[in-house]
Chains A and B, each alone.
Chain A
Amino acid sequence: MATEVLMPALSPTMEEGTLAKWLVKEGDKVKSGQILAEIETDKATMEFEAVDDGIIGTLLIAEGSAGVKVNTPIATLLEDGEAAPTAPRAAPAAAKPAAPASDAAPMAAPAIATAPPAPVAAKGWPHADLPEGPTKTMTVREALREAMAEEMRRDPNVFLMGEEVGEYQGAYKISQGLLDEFGAKRVVDTPITEHGFAGIAVGASWGGLRPIVEFMTFNFAMQAIDHIINSAAKTLYMSGGQMGSPMVFRGPNGAAARVGAQHSQDYAAWYSAIPGLKVCMPYSAADAKGLLKTAIRDPNPVIFLENEILYGRSFEVPTDPDFTIPLGKASILREGSDVTIVSFSIGLTYALQAAEILAKDGISAEVVNLRTLRPIDYDTVLASVMKTNRCVTVEEGFPVGSIGDHLASTIMQRAFDHLDAPVVTCTGKDVPMPYAANLEKLALTTTAEVVAAVKSVCYR
């Protein structure tokens, strides 16, 4: 009997991909393990292998089709001796032709950099905090890459180091194309030795360079945390101001999808507790670009916490080449009068969705995007809370000692008389991240929880 070969899910966050290239034709005999096709996602090009022996019947999806949803039948596989059905090839509605040049592009490739496979457009997301002037649409991933490239062009002492940042083009493709442009002297592939290369980068910053250290994810920065805190953060102080560590530690932070406890942790509150560090946590592509440029220029060690799930989302970004965002400045993403929702990074997706839902219920929520967690912009938060008299915070990290706890305490100390209700914090649950899909969903904070929290502080 003919079996259907389905579009595979090839990464934790993949929902659709481009069928870049067929490596087999109809009628070909294939063995299990043989490469059938090349499939592209926004992260990488991947080879898709046959799981069973058989004969390729019909190729259902044409080479070059983009937006092919996971689990769409892409071919039929016949058993030996079975005749191919004569049914005409149907092009499923899900598939649309890819932008030219996105298929078969070599990996070391500005070509790929210019043709990312269809990012999920974040249409309708507010961009209330952008300065006046022309913008262009870009993904968070592209914004980060552009910020690094621009700063590396501007200052020859800026360099990038980390695992798989060069030849592999970045584990999450943030550094794609940088090796081509800047060469191996400035885009440095390291062995898997986080403690070692973090220490080397701190030393290099003392020696006059401006390192950008990419951690494949911040979970692995735990191996290096001694150098981040004891060496990078404290030396300016311990040397009586003689020498600091002008550098950036960046990479994805927090939960991705189904990668379990050791790979899903939000370090926002950890690093924000350390004097001597600055901490950025961008939400939009404009945040990513503007903050990263400022972070690279800053004379202090800056922890730059990105989010894998946001990498592929698109936003408007000012085209002004001098566009930067100062550290320590929050923004108002949505104005409102009944309650202040303070959040950052992916927490804002819940906050903004909640604000939308609450608006329909007649509750006007102001949404504050912190952008920087150290220094934290108390003034913007306090001004908003003094206006709305209510506050809910939203983040993915653990509840104990969270950023929300710290804000609640600050608001209590500095705006107690303005509060009409206690501050409520929405956080991840107080458990290591479970793997099971149903439990993982439960462990993260949700839009529904934010809506409920807002209603509770509004006594509705």
Chain B
Amino acid sequence: MVAKKPADRPNASKEDLLKYYREMLLIRRFEEKAGQLYGMGLIGGFCHLYIGQEAVVVGLEAVAKDGDKRITSYRDHGHMLACGMDPKGVMAELTGRSGGYSKGKGGSMHMFSKDRHFYGGHGIVGAQVPLGAGLAFADKYLGNDNVTFTYFGDGAANQGQVYETYNMAELWNLPVVFVIENNQYAMGTSMKRSTKSPSMWERGAAYGIQGEAVDGMDVLAVKAAGEKAVATCRAGDGPYILEMMTYRYRGHSMSDPAKYRTREEVDKMRSEKDAIDHVRDLLLQGGLASEDDLKTIDKDIKARVNEAAEFAKDSPEPPLADLWTDIYA
């Protein structure tokens, strides 16, 4: 990873920076709360936190327009919050309650919002990649200029279906941005132990797909790369690959042996590369916000997250009859 970004000359307005700060902080605090509720037994099953990777979705959502679509893996809470889904509905799905986005039937890994064009939430590693290309296929077919953001991990990037998809996506110039969230680990397997490819995005070259690696801990770099990718796709020259170099601070899921990397490695990332601290520095050092301004935002976000948690605890379990609904249209 590159060294910490200098805090000078941000290519974003004060309003933009404050917005990114707020959105990233919402994800972080939401995830911390989810971890807490899991420990209390209110959330069950698998729960994969997004802490550390916030700049990726916030930077890309900054270049999305109405009608654009997104699809991702089970590590999906951040994507949902960033595309404007209600924290209450997301948290209530985590607790398996009727107020959740899937009425409690999907859980952390399987959530959707047709309304916000969020197409899941997929538990099978790599499966979302052809599905995302299919969404883009539909947009192209229908003749609009929407783009689909298809997110997947460095581990998922080894699944065969990714390359079948690359081939067809380029063959048909589908408006899809493949976003590889390279957090350097697939469960306990570091990228070095799963491939000898020097980089993930360059694999697209074999199919004629353009792309680049991006500092995924820098929301402004993410946004800049996203602008280019999206413009390419809207112009009919898709697909495009963005390999986001990022890092997850927490375990793979709540249950993680934490033995495949050192505590020092995690601490170093947190202290030197943290995406939220970066924007915080830009705001403070640029004189764009005061400590007090940021404290107010912090308080605000905490209140929103607490409200979501309360909602998720109070929302009733789904009625038993729901076991039999939604199986056929």
Q: Which residues of A contact B (CB under 8 A)?
A: 6, 8-12, 14, 32-33, 35, 41, 43-49, 51, 70-71, 107, 163-164, 167-169, 171, 189, 191-196, 219-220, 222-223, 256-263, 429-432, 434-439, 442-443
Q: Looking at the complex, which one of B36, B109, B195, B318 makes contact with A439 (CB distance below 8 Å)?
A: B318
B59 at the interface (CB under 8 A from A): no
Asked if residues B317 and A193 are in contact (CB atoms below 8 Å), the reply is no
Chain B residues closer than 8 Å to A258, beta-carbon distance: 44-45, 96, 107
B317 to A47, Cβ gap below 8 A? no
Q: List 13 A-B contacts (CB under 8 A).
A: A9-B38, A49-B35, A107-B259, A168-B188, A168-B189, A192-B156, A223-B126, A259-B123, A260-B46, A261-B106, A262-B123, A263-B45, A442-B323
Do residues A257 and B45 form an inter-chain contact, with CB atoms below 8 A?
A: yes
Give the shortest distance, in Å, between B1 (CB) and chain A (any CB): 19
Within 30-65 of B, Cβ neighbours of A (below 8 Å) are at 32-33, 35-36, 38-41, 44-46, 51
- Which single member of B105, B123, B189, B249 contacts A434 (CB below 8 Å)? B105
For chains A and B in complex, what number of residue pairs have CB atoms within 8 angstroms? 181
Are A192 and B318 closer than 8 Å at their CB atoms? Answer: no
CA distance A426 to B320 in the complex (A): 19
Can you name the residue of chain A whose Cβ is closest to the Cβ of B51?
A33
**CB < 8 Å neighbour of B110 from A171, A192, A260:** A260
The CB with the most chain B CB atoms within 10 A, among A51, A71, A169, A260, is that of A260
A130 to B179, CA, bound (A): 55
Contacts of A167 in B (CB 8 A): 188-189, 193, 260
Instruction: Name the one of B124, B258, B320 contacting A262, with C-beta atoms under 8 angstroms.
Output: B124
Q: In the docked arrangement, what's the CA distance between A336 and B106, Å? A: 42
Cβ 8 A contact of A14, one of B109, B159, B255: B255
Q: Which A-chain residue is minimally distant from B44 (CB atoms)?
A: A258
Pick from B41, B104, B110: contact of A261, CB under 8 Å: B110
Q: Which residues of B contact A220 (CB under 8 A)?
A: 124-125
Q: Is the pair B189, A189 in contact by a Cβ cutoff of 8 Å?
A: yes
CB distance from A392 to the nearest CB of B (A): 22
Cα A222 to Cα B127 in complex, Å, equals 11
Residues of B141-192 at the interface with A, using a CB-CB cut-off of 8 Å, are: 155-156, 158-161, 186-189
Chain A neighbourhood of B105, CB < 8 A: 261, 434-436, 439
Residue of A nearest to B155 (CB): A192
Q: If the complex has contacts A32-B32, A46-B251, A435-B107, are A443 and B323 also in contact, measured as CB distance less than 8 A?
A: yes
- A46 x B193 contact (CB < 8 A): no
- The answer on a CB contact under 8 Å between A431 and B39 is no
Give the distance to chain B from A311, nearest Cβ to Cβ, in Å: 13
- List of 5 A-B pairs having minimum Cβ-Cβ separation, nearest first: A258-B44, A435-B107, A8-B39, A258-B45, A11-B255
A171 and B188 alpha carbons, distance in the complex (Å) = 9
Please, how many angstroms separate the alpha-carbon atoms of A421 and B187 in the complex?
A: 51
Contacts A9-B41, A189-B193, A431-B324 given; indicate if A262 touches B109 (C-beta within 8 A). Answer: yes
Using known A-B contacts A191-B194, A260-B109, A431-B324, determine if residue A44 contacts B38 with beta carbons closer than 8 Å.
no
Interface core residue of B97, B189, B193 (most chain A CB under 10 Å): B189
* B residues near A194, Cβ cutoff 8 Å: 159
| B158 closest partner in A (C-beta) | A191
Known: A46-B256, A47-B251, A435-B104. A192 touches B186 (CB 8 A): yes
> Which of A11, A222, A435 touches B124 (beta carbons < 8 Å)?
A222
Q: Which residues of A contact B97 (CB under 8 A)?
A: 436
Q: What is the predominant secondary structure among interface residues of chain A facing chain B?
A: loop
Closest-by-CB residue of A relative to B123 is A262
Please determine whether A12 and B96 come into contact, CB atoms closer than 8 angstroms: no
B residues with a Cβ closer than 8 A to A are: 32-33, 35-36, 38-41, 44-46, 51, 93, 96-97, 102, 104-110, 122-126, 155-156, 158-161, 186-189, 193-195, 249-251, 254-260, 263, 270, 317-318, 320, 322-324, 327
Do A438 and B193 have beta carbons less than 8 Å apart? no
Residue from B96, B104, B158, B187 in contact with A193 in the complex, judged by beta carbons closer than 8 Å: B158
- A263–B41 CB distance below 8 A: no
What's the nearest-Cβ distance from chain A to residue B312, in Å?
Answer: 12
- Contacting pair B260 A168 (CB below 8 A): yes
Are A438 and B251 neighbours in the complex by a CB distance under 8 Å?
Answer: no
- Find chain B residues with CB under 8 A from A164 CB: 187-189
Chain A residues closer than 8 Å to B108, beta-carbon distance: 260
Closest-by-CB residue of A relative to B259 is A107
Contact A193 B160 (CB under 8 A): yes
Chain A CB count within 10 A is highest, among B35, B38, B39, for: B39
Partner of A6, one of B39, B194, B254, B260: B39
Question: A443 to chain B: closest CB distance in Å?
Answer: 6
Option from B45, B156, B159 in Cβ contact (under 8 Å) with A12: B45
Q: Do A168 and B254 contact each other (CB < 8 Å), given the known contacts A70-B41, A192-B125, A438-B318? A: no
Contacting pair B322 A439 (CB below 8 A): yes
Q: Are A437 and B251 in contact (CB under 8 A)?
A: no
In the bound complex, CA of A33 to CA of B51 (Å):
10
The residues of B that contact A219 with a CB separation of less than 8 Å are: 123-124
Question: B188: which A residues are within 8 A, CB to CB?
Answer: 164, 167-168
In the assembled complex, how far is the CB of residue B25 from the closest CB belonging to chain A, in whole angstroms?
A: 13
> Which B residues lie within 8 Å of A107 (CB)?
257, 259
Q: Which residues of A contact B263 (CB under 8 A)?
A: 35
18 A-B pairs besides A14-B255, A261-B105 with CB distance below 8 A are: A8-B39, A33-B249, A43-B255, A46-B251, A46-B258, A47-B258, A167-B188, A168-B188, A189-B193, A193-B160, A220-B124, A257-B45, A261-B106, A434-B322, A434-B323, A437-B44, A437-B317, A439-B318
Residues on the B chain within 8 Å of A14, using CB: 255
User: What CA separation (Å) do A8 and B36 show in the bound complex?
Assistant: 8
Q: In the complex, what's the smallest C-beta–C-beta distance from B110 to chain A, in angstroms?
A: 5
